[in-house]
Homo-oligomer: A and B are copies of this chain.
Amino acid sequence: MTQTLPSAAAAVPDPSPDLLARAAAVRRAAMALGQCGDDARRGAVRAMADALERATPRIEAANREDLEAATAAGLAPSLVARLRLDGPKLAAAIEGVRQVAELADPLGRRLLHTELDEGLVLERITVPLGVLGVIFEARPDAVMQIASLAVRSGNGALLKGGREAVRSCAAIHQALREGLAGTAVEPQVLELLTSREESLGLLKLDGLVDLIIPRGSNELVRFIQDHTRIPVLGHADGICHLYVDAAADPPQALRLAIDSKTQYPAACNAIETLLVHKAIAPAFLAAAVPAFAAAGVELRGDPAARALGVAAAAGEADWSTEYSDLILSVKVVEDLAEALAHIARYGSRHTDAIATADPAAADRFLAAVDSAGVYWNASTRFADGFRYGFGAEVGISTQTLPPRGPVGLEGLVTYRYRLRGEGHIAADYASSARRFTHRSLPL
């Protein structure tokens, strides 16, 4: 599933004339899609789901070929498992496409409505971004998910799958276009890129592509961020913390810690470090050490934690390591302030939680931790678009600028200002012949 990345020093080649022409065709089709109404876009996504259903045997056959090639090439079993797209997994992905069709329309929402002067009215309206460039390192089922989110939100997409999934992606893309063929949306809104050169050329399509969504490793995200002017929606590291405060309820805090670490350890919203207030550390760790051992979690502690039963030692590197595995570093802290300082220094601004019965400590934590998600007495594993009620997720962003955190359909829209006048000119305001009213109107 991994892509070979050229070194950062290597120049990214300019897009080929063929890629430019295909991207321009996607853009033209996307501009038309952006003017389709809610029903047309919803109908198009439903037609995509129907076509995927009809193409199920073809997609499964293509996937079997990919699997055979991957096995022959000696791909790791865990990667082969992610590549597999058999009956139930494909059916679930198609059901996901249907669910995207039913999500509320993110377009045409009026975010601002102001009378600038009599007869001069400003609106801010949500509109599609335009064209998405999506680079997958991972599972071919993500192609269906992103394609449906793109069309639902009025965007075109250039999709580049991992090279191991090339046959599966081609079969899915063909089905998606067949589905669109009978609808108001041109099939050209979805284009598939197949070569590594196209994937690199995509990074230079500014003006034609509005957002790049990398679905893959931290290394992939960083490479893309370093080689494009196009905004990148991505999360790099997920180094999440749970701080067990002096006023925590120990059994509840332990439940939260176990869930945050073990419910899906490879997820970016799993915790990597447990911070424990020194006053509660003896009692808490007395229960936590055997509980984590029973859950198969290896603990690595600072000297204070080791004195309280943690067997292995944590080194400096542990505090900034995303294990993505059943490993957890443990540090005993003097107080809340030390916990906050540790999170500020080592955290990745993803999701951090406090376990406490003290509302003042919770308020301080919620105000001071500068992460996309800050939780009080809840597992960090809730950092997810579905769990937040967004219905579907494009990805999770640890960037500071919006969209931040779990990103749903609304991450695929921007806004546009519309101004309607009656011949109003700026010179009249510069000369004070007229004055702005700046009156808020109902949304």
Mark A residues whose CB is within 8 Å of B. Answer: 31, 34-35, 114, 116, 120, 122, 127, 129-130, 210-211, 222, 225-226, 229, 231, 249, 252, 255-256, 258-260, 263-264, 344, 362, 366-368, 370-379, 381-383, 387-389, 399-402, 404-406, 414-427, 429-430, 436, 438
Contacts and interface: CB of A to CB of B under 8 A. Distances in A.
Given A373-B419, A377-B420, A425 B256 contact: yes
A31 B416 contact: no
B388 A114 contact: yes
A287 to B, nearest CB: 15
18 contacts: A31-B368, A34-B370, A114-B388, A129-B400, A130-B370, A130-B400, A225-B229, A259-B425, A263-B430, A370-B416, A373-B419, A374-B419, A375-B421, A378-B421, A382-B419, A388-B417, A400-B414, A402-B415
Q: Which 8 residue pairs are nearest across A and B when measured between Cβ atoms? A: A378-B421, A381-B426, A259-B425, A389-B438, A252-B423, A210-B400, A375-B419, A373-B417
A400 B211 contact: yes
Contacts of A400: 129-130, 210-211, 231, 414
A387 B438 CA distance: 8
Contacts of A210: 400-401
B424 A377 contact: yes
Nearest to A429: B387
A426 B421 CA distance: 52
A258 B423 CA distance: 12
A376 B419 contact: yes
A211 B401 contact: yes
Contacts of A427: 259, 263
Contacts of A401: 129, 210-211, 231, 401, 414
A368 B130 CA distance: 12
Give chain A's interface secondary structure class.
Answer: mixed
B255 A425 contact: yes
Contacts of A263: 425-427, 430
A389 B436 contact: yes
Contacts of A225: 229
Contact of A414 (B260, B387, B402): B402
Nearest to A11: B9
A424 B259 CA distance: 9
Contact of A116 (B31, B116, B388, B430): B388
A114, A371, A419, A427 — most chain B CB neighbours (10 Å): A419
A226 B249 CA distance: 50
A115 to B, nearest CB: 9
A42 B439 CA distance: 23
Nearest to A437: B389
B35 A368 contact: yes
A195 to B, nearest CB: 24
Contact of A382 (B264, B405, B426): B426
Contacts of A383: 417
A256 B423 CA distance: 6
B376 A420 contact: yes
Nearest to A413: B402
B423 A255 contact: yes
Contacts of A372: 416-417
A87 to B, nearest CB: 22
Contacts of A249: 423
A357 to B, nearest CB: 10
Contacts of A389: 114, 116, 122, 436, 438
Nearest to A404: B414
Contact of A422 (B377, B381, B402): B377
Nearest to A373: B417
Nearest to A251: B423
